[in-house]
Amino acid sequence: MEDLQSKWDSRYRDNHDAPLPCHVLREHGHLLPASGKALDLACGMGGNALFLASHGLSTTAWDLSPVGIAKLREHASRQSLSIDAHTRDVTAEPFEVNGFDVIVVSYFLDRELFPSLLTALKPNGLLFYETFVQDKPEGIGPSNPEYLLEQNELLQRCQSLVIRSYREEGQVGDMAAGVRNVAMVVGQKLD
């Protein structure tokens, strides 16, 4: 775990750009509830957390990297946003059942976490998920298949949710247009 933490600490330490929310959250922000508890899981420098907090949600953010969390706290302070940001190994610590109205995960894939993610959603809660796929242009994102979704895998892993939006374009048609390297879903738990 220390090697992984060091990798991300180094990446965030050298990144001086303002963090941005992921595409699926920007594109579907109109689906967010007016209030409630939100989680930005594996938040990095917190672009999603900042977006959620700016939309009135009580926002929690977790990441393995203390450097990423420190940068998120700096950005939140500058924007006068309250975010409960913590260093946390999301693969080792359990989620609270029915704990969140919104969960956002971007560019992080641990297949074993999906059952916990889904039970962490409150009834009517929304999952916004976006990450890399195997069927993507060369040189974009990771190359290790452990971190790449197979075709329609994200859709299958969210089959217990009502799918409000799904997008996975692959390498079809005009490769200069669209969003080619990720799958994105917005799903709602109706239990």
Q: Where are the domains of the chain?
A: 2-188
Q: Are 60 and 39 in contact (CB under 8 A)?
A: yes
The two tokens of residue 54 are 């700016």
Whether the per-residue pLDDT at 1 is higher than 60: the answer is no
Whether the per-residue pLDDT at 98 is higher than 90: the answer is yes
- pLDDT value at position 126? 98
Q: What number is the average pLDDT over the span 157-181?
A: 88
d(CA 68, CA 41): 12
Whether the per-residue pLDDT at 184 is higher than 90: the answer is yes
Q: Tell me the per-residue pLDDT of 107-140, one tens digit each, with 9 for 90 and over.
A: 999 999 999 999 999 999 999 999 998 887 777 7
pTM: 0.92
2-188: CATH architecture: 3-Layer(aba) Sandwich (3.40)
Greater confidence, 9 or 63?
Answer: 63
